[in-house]
């Protein structure tokens, strides 16, 4: 109660909370009463960065008392971490009614104020955003990604080499050695890209090494086609293959995200190499499946096909880096993690145009203002730790949507085409589905939890009964 009275008389703001923040004092653990308070009040996933109710309360905390003034600012708000297309007036009315019903605000003849409970919730939520953002920045740092990648490569390459030798699979053996040589690429990123600050040189070397991998795939594939030998897949080989696909896909996403947010070209290049590893692992599994029926040449053919794709992507990537030279723009390189910004920013642009007739200049200005507010209240979750997200990126996306016939310009105003309107409604349908699924009623378990449990159980059963399954597979031959 004392802190609440102090806030009333001193008119504290979110900026004051940040100035007085201490990670040791204000950290929010998932097991303490502060987190339980967020669970109690937030309808979606219990985290402030997943919804806009928190933003509504923040505006009131910062002194906005009129609902119309809150609407003007909230309608521009941009947050990368939510699935919500755009904040509408009906959404703000929903947040107002939730806050009023739960005793988080008081409305005295049109003047909105936070209650003591509402004030406490805002302060806990903001501290939680600061606390989580700090550790997310560490997790998404270049050094963390490199160390994690190196550890993964050592483990998975040794498993693949050992299994490939046991099975007599040239594809899995080649894949294992390819993964092992990837450690050299990590060294290049660290030494040339980060320490010597020669990012472009490191990127070019990585792409050339990736293309060299393609050469070895072609060579080993042709050699295996000439000297066909039987392959005897086991349960263990399939497990290693699927684990490799999942982890390489995760690494590709993480490298591309960190490369994009930090502007590290060599990490973006290395993310493409992880995508190559996903394709190779998928090709090996397809080869194993055909081998079960006595068709052994598919294993080699798939390796050669993957090699062709490697060359194609490598040449295109090198062209982008070398031809543009000084005018090179790193944002033109398409990588795995761009889906975060593609989906969210595209939906924001389409939603803004559908709601109001805007010029390009007005839309970009609104986005900049909304992003600034998002960064102020949500910290790293507003731009998902991408500091260069701004007007230039928004303009690029608007132009792409115009060229893609999602938006048309009439008398300097932006309007949605039929294609754009359809894309908006699809995004809106996904939003409502996501918001519906995120609200938990009675049961503490989500459907995704059930799917995860089923996958784990199947994985454990395969390991337990691997010898019996391998015996059955041998009988197929």
CATH number at residue 167: 1.20.1510
pLDDT the model gives residue 167: 64
Kindly state whether residues 73 and 210 are assigned to the same domain: no
Kindly state whether residues 328 and 191 are assigned to the same domain: yes
In a domain, 83, yes or no: yes
Kindly state whether residues 131 and 249 are assigned to the same domain: no
The range of the structural domain enclosing residue 460 comes to 447-476
Dihedral sign (CA 379, 382, 384, 385): negative
Kindly state whether residues 241 and 299 are assigned to the same domain: yes
Kindly state whether residues 281 and 307 are assigned to the same domain: yes
Q: What is the pTM of this model?
A: 0.76
Domain end position, chosen among 110, 138, 166:
138
Domain end position, chosen among 113, 138, 163:
138
pLDDT the model gives residue 416: 94
Kindly state whether residues 21 and 131 are assigned to the same domain: yes
Tokens of 426: 């699809």
In a domain, 264, yes or no: yes
**What whole-number distance in Å separates Cα of residue 402 and Cα of residue 395?**
11
Kindly state whether residues 99 and 122 are assigned to the same domain: yes
In a domain, 205, yes or no: yes
Range 286-304 burial, b when 16+ CB lie within 10 A, else e? bbbebbeeeebebbbbbbb
Domain end position, chosen among 334, 366, 388:
334
In a domain, 289, yes or no: yes
CA angle 218, 220, 225 (to 5 degrees): 95
Contact 335, 261 (CB under 8 A): no
**What whole-number distance in Å separates Cα of residue 51 and Cα of residue 438?**
10
Kindly state whether residues 168 and 251 are assigned to the same domain: yes
Q: In which residue are the tokens 């303009």 written?
A: 395
Low-confidence ranges of the chain (pLDDT < 50): 1-2, 4-10, 325-328, 330
**What whole-number distance in Å separates Cα of residue 15 and Cα of residue 60?**
14
Contact 313, 368 (CB under 8 A): no
Kindly state whether residues 29 and 163 are assigned to the same domain: no
Residues 6 or more apart whose Cβ sits within 8 Å of residue 428: 85, 351
In a domain, 383, yes or no: no
Short-list 133, 183, 236, CA closest to 473:
236
Dihedral sign (CA 464, 466, 471, 475): positive
**What whole-number distance in Å separates Cα of residue 126 and Cα of residue 58?**
9
Contact 434, 344 (CB under 8 A): no
CATH number at residue 35: 1.10.10.10
pLDDT the model gives residue 342: 62
**What whole-number distance in Å separates Cα of residue 470 and Cα of residue 459?**
15
Kindly state whether residues 123 and 177 are assigned to the same domain: no
**What whole-number distance in Å separates Cα of residue 420 and Cα of residue 441?**
35
Contact 332, 268 (CB under 8 A): no
Tokens of 145: 């990604």
| Crossing angle between the packed helical segments 53-61 and 89-101, to the nearest 10 degrees | 80
The backbone region for 79, taken as left when phi is positive above 0, alpha when psi lies in -120 to 50, beta otherwise, is beta
Q: How far is CA 46 from the centre of its chain?
A: 20
| 195 to 147, 199, 315: CA distances (angstroms) | 15, 9, 27
**What whole-number distance in Å separates Cα of residue 297 and Cα of residue 141?**
43
pLDDT the model gives residue 5: 44
| Crossing angle between the packed helical segments 53-61 and 67-74, to the nearest 10 degrees | 120
In a domain, 318, yes or no: yes
In a domain, 434, yes or no: no
Kindly state whether residues 201 and 64 are assigned to the same domain: no
DSSP-assigned states of every residue in 72-110: HHHTT---TT---S---HHHHHHHHHHHHHTTSEEEETT
Kindly state whether residues 297 and 159 are assigned to the same domain: yes
Overall number of domains in the chain: 3
pLDDT the model gives residue 9: 41
**What whole-number distance in Å separates Cα of residue 207 and Cα of residue 458?**
38
In a domain, 99, yes or no: yes
């Amino acid at each position: 109660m004392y802190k609440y009275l102090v806030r009333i008389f001193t008119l504290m703001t979110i900026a004051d909370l940040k100035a007085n923040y201490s990670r040791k004092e204000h950290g929010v653990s998932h097991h303490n009463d502060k987190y339980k308070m967020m669970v109690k009040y937030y309808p979606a996933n219990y985290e402030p960065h997943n919804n806009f109710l928190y933003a509504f309360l923040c505006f009131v905390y910062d002194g906005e008392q009129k609902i119309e003034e809150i609407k003007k600012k909230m309608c521009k708000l941009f947050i990368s971490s939510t699935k919500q297309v755009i904040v509408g007036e009906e959404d703000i009315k929903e947040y107002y009614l939730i806050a009023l019903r739960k005793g988080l605000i008081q409305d005295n003849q049109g003047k909105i104020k936070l209650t003591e409970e509402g004030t406490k919730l805002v302060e806990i939520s903001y501290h939680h955003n600061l606390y989580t953002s700090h550790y997310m920045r560490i997790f998404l740092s270049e050094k963390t990604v490199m160390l994690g990648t190196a550890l993964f490569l050592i483990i998975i390459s040794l498993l693949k080499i050992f299994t490939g030798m046991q099975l007599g699979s040239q594809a899995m053996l080649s894949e294992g050695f390819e993964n092992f040589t990837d450690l050299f690429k990590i060294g290049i990123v660290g030494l040339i890209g980060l320490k010597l600050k020669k990012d472009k040189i490191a990127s070019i070397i990585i792409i050339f090494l990736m293309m060299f991998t393609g050469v070895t795939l072609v060579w080993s594939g042709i050699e295996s086609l000439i000297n066909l030998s039987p392959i005897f897949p086991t349960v263990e080989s399939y497990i290693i293959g699927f684990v490799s696909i999942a982890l390489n896909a995760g690494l590709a996403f993480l490298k591309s995200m960190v490369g994009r947010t930090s502007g590290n070209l060599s990490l973006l290049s290395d993310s493409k190499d992880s995508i190559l590893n996903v394709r190779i692992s998928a090709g090996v599994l397809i080869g194993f499946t055909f081998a079960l029926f006595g068709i052994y040449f598919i294993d080699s053919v798939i390796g050669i096909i993957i090699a062709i794709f490697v060359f194609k992507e490598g040449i295109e990537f090198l062209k982008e880096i070398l031809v543009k030279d000084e005018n090179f723009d790193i944002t033109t390189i398409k990588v795995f993690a761009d889906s975060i910004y593609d989906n969210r920013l595209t939906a924001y642009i389409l939603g803004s145009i559908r709601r109001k007739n805007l010029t390009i200049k007005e839309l970009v200005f609104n986005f900049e203002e909304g992003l600034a507010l998002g960064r102020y209240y949500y910290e790293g979750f507003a731009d998902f730790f991408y500091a260069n997200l701004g007007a230039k990126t928004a303009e690029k996306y608007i132009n792409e949507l115009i060229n893609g016939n999602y938006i048309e310009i009439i008398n300097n105003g932006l309007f949605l085409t039929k294609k754009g309107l359809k894309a908006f409604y699809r995004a809106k349908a996904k939003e409502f589905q996501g918001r519906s699924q995120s609200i938990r009623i009675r049961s503490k378990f989500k459907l995704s939890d059930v799917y995860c449990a089923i996958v784990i159980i199947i994985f454990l059963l395969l390991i337990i009964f691997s010898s019996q399954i391998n015996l059955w597979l041998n009988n197929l031959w």
